[in-house]
Amino acid sequence: MPDTVKTSPVTLEEYGAMDMATRRQLWIDISDISEEQFDAHMATEKAREAIVPKVGSVAPDFVADVLGDNRKRTGEKIRLSDLRGKPVAIAFGSYT
């Protein structure tokens, strides 16, 4: 395995059995950021998560670009609220 590839010091089963305090310490031990930076990052993520719509709630309205068969923008835009009552699937990702 190349030197740039890091392997986890624990298995998924071990990680799943850890409490949050143990996971936090593991993250800090294997990270290249300080404990303060880690805590600040986690606080930011927690605040962000508080405003994310909950599963089963009405999706916020937005406008998206329509892609053609070639995965390029067609210039057409679509608003989610215009599709109310119709089945909608949304694939998030990068097509660039």
Report if residue 6 sits inside a domain.
Answer: no
Report if residue 69 sits inside a domain.
Answer: no
Task: Name which of 75, 76, 79, 72 is nearest 96 in CA terms.
Answer: 72
Residue 38 domain boundaries:
12-50
Report if residue 32 sits inside a domain.
Answer: yes
Would the pLDDT of 95 be above 60? no
| Integer CA distances (angstroms), 90 to 1, 12, 65, 83, in order | 37, 30, 12, 12
Is the separation of the CB atoms in 24 and 35 below 8 Å? no
Query: Which two structure tokens, joined as six digits, stand for 68?
Result: 């053609």
pLDDT given at position 83:
94
pLDDT given at position 47:
95
Would the pLDDT of 3 be above 80? no
Q: In whole angstroms, what is the distance from residue 3 CA to residue 92 CA?
A: 32
Number of structural domains found in the chain: 1
Q: Supply the pTM of this predicted model.
A: 0.51
Report if residue 43 sits inside a domain.
Answer: yes
Element (H, E) at 44: helix 35-50
